[in-house]
Structure 1
Amino acid sequence: MIDRRLGVLQAIARHGTVTAAAEVCRLTPSAVSHQMQALARELDVVLLEPVGRTVRLTPAAHTLIAHAEALTAQWEHARADLSAHRSGDVGGTLRFAGFSSAAAVVVPKALDLLREEHPALRVHLRESEPARSFDLLAADEVDVAVVVATPSIPPASDAAFDQHPLVDEPLDVLVGPEHPLVGRDGVALADLAHDPWVCGNRGRAYHQLVTLACTVAGFAPDIAHFADEWDTGAALVARGFGVALVPRLADLPAHHDTRRIPIRTPPVPTRRILAAVRAGSGHQPTIAAGLDALRRVTATDLPALDP
């Protein structure tokens, strides 16, 4: 119903280059350039200006994007209004995206609720990094994205998406069995300022989370190892190669001998978990049911530490 080239232009605005937009839109850079040239000719305006090896959006392009966001949101509202003319239980298909911890813990519990309460509803889950989840939303490849708030995701003011806070999840310190802090019932993050750290790879949400938390606590972490999988990170921590921050929801492998210690001295790091949908889509019955299930799951107490 809406010219798909508008979505390509929005991708260029979000990612800053034709190449990056082509990747998320599953097109070649030349196809993206061709589409933008054709759209500019049809509208008789200049949309992109070359700046070195990148491009800059013109004022006309920003005006067009604002209209595209309004059109998309209105279409989502229309789909919600049309649902009133359908009878029966909530049905159809609901597609989720979630980052690793959410995909393993939060979303499956929500899927259980949906399966029990809406048996006619088909649900799907795709594990995805937060920034990528917004690309999937924009491309209409998923309907609900469960993400952690990091600098890499669109701001809450982005008119293309509606973002719903779900829970602020505390982070714990993970240390090996011989670490000097073992046995304490709480620590300050600054107590580990001189330790080597195990962290996710640069550009990943976990890397941003750890470095930001340490910066707020007054130090830059000495990152000795990079690990994106909890199994790898826990293995390094268990053998004394570093310490790590772990979200309370993270289900660590039991075969590695590690110790969780809560951070009780401010600043206590947390991560905010959000549910994001396309602007205007939250009133569609399937998406509304998904958001409700996520809110109910995250309203329960987070897993407690063993005494």
Structure 2
Amino acid sequence: MIDHRLHVLRTLAENGTVTATAAVLHLTPSAVSQQLRLLARDLEVELLRPEGRRVRLTPAAHIVLRHADALRLQWEAAQAELAQHSAAVQGTLRLCGVSSALATLAAPAVTALRTAHPLVEPLIIEEESTDSYRLLLADEADIALVLPGPDAPPVTDARFEQTPLLTDRQDLLVAAGHRLARPEGVHLLEAADQAWIVKKHNNDSYPLLLAACAAAGFTPRIAHEVKEWYAVSSLVAEGLGVCLLPRIVPLPQHPVVRVPLLGEATPVRQLLTAVRRGSTSHPVINAGLQALHHTATSIGT
């Protein structure tokens, strides 16, 4: 119902170049340029001005985006109000987010949701947090389970409603027999001389590790770039390094030890739910949010 070219313009405003916008939207750069030219023609205003290798939005483009955000909010409210006329909570609920949150929170929440509302059909998508926000804006997801990080929209971003879901403590994962495998716990600074295992790119865990180590007073030496928890645990078990393991991630079946971290700077992950602003009153989305928050409350950390 809302012109897709407005979403293209919004994506360009966030990414700065036609090439980056095309990559995010899975379009060719020429298709992005053509859509924006046609939008400018239809609106009879100039939307973009070249600025080196980038483009700069004109004042008219910012006006268009401001009204586009208002239109999107109104459309979400309209969809929610229409859905409330149904006698039952029904429809597809699309959840996206990081793997650990999907496994520990989304899976049991979806089971409870389908028990309470059999006509709800869930669709679960694994993505890192930055891409989860993108899926929300592209209307390819309804609820995102995200970790706020340096590339995440601020909580003041008018396009989203972001709500705290769970505070997830992080532990140190070491090989069995490691000098830091102490059940009473260790301070993170004691692991400053260790090799660390974490994937640097497209991985929410990396900025969290950097922030935790900086707070403890050191910069980690990344020895191996691995992301999937089972593979990370296998490397840790072989003595190739250590890692931070979120409390909600089950301990893999390897000879490894989960060591509690002590001190004031104990690292945690803050899990949030994010939805498009105005959509929380939609019966399906509201039921999904309630199921997620109930599951988070029952788990704790």
**TM-score, normalised with respect to structure 1:** 0.94
Match of 1:272 in 2: 270
Distance, in Å, in 2 between the alignment partners of 1:277 and 1:13 is 20
2:15 is the counterpart of 1:32: no
Distance, in Å, in 2 between the alignment partners of 1:6 and 1:179 is 55
Matching residue's letter, 2:153: P
Match of 2:98 in 1: 99
Matching residue's letter, 2:267: P
Match of 1:191 in 2: 190
Aligned ranges 1:52-201 → 2 under 5 Å: 52-87=52-87, 89-201=88-200
- Listed as ranges, the gaps of 5+ residues in structure 1 are none
Q: Map Cα deviations across residues 31-65 of structure 1 (whole Å, 9 max, x no partner).
A: 11111111112222222222222222222222211
| C-alpha contact 1:248 1:302 (8 A) present in aligned 2 | no
Q: Which runs of 4+ in 1 moved over 6 A?
A: none
Match of 1:293 in 2: 291
Taking a change above 3 Å as real, the CA distance of residues 124 and 186 of structure 1, as seen in their structure-2 partners, is same
SS of 1:19's equivalent in the other structure is helix
Match of 1:249 in 2: 248
Per the TM alignment, residue 140 of structure 1 is displaced from its structure 2 partner at its CA by 0.7
Per the TM alignment, residue 261 of structure 1 is displaced from its structure 2 partner at its CA by 0.8
Per the TM alignment, residue 248 of structure 1 is displaced from its structure 2 partner at its CA by 0.6
Query: What is the aligned-residue RMSD (CA, Å)?
Result: 1.3
Q: Map Cα deviations across residues 207-264 of structure 1 (whole Å, 9 max, x no partner).
A: 111111111211110111110111221111111111100111112421x111001112
Distance, in Å, in 1 between the alignment partners of 2:30 and 2:77 is 34
| C-alpha contact 2:84 2:282 (8 A) present in aligned 1 | no
Identity %: 46
What number of residue pairs does the alignment pair up?
Answer: 301
Per the TM alignment, residue 198 of structure 1 is displaced from its structure 2 partner at its CA by 0.8
- Listed as ranges, the gaps of 5+ residues in structure 2 are none
Q: Map Cα deviations across residues 70-121 of structure 1 (whole Å, 9 max, x no partner).
A: 110111011112223222x200111111211012221001101111100011
Match of 2:14 in 1: 14
Match of 1:282 in 2: 280
Distance, in Å, in 2 between the alignment partners of 1:202 and 1:211 is 13
Instruction: Tell me whether 294-303 or 121-130 shows the greater mean CA deviation.
Output: 294-303
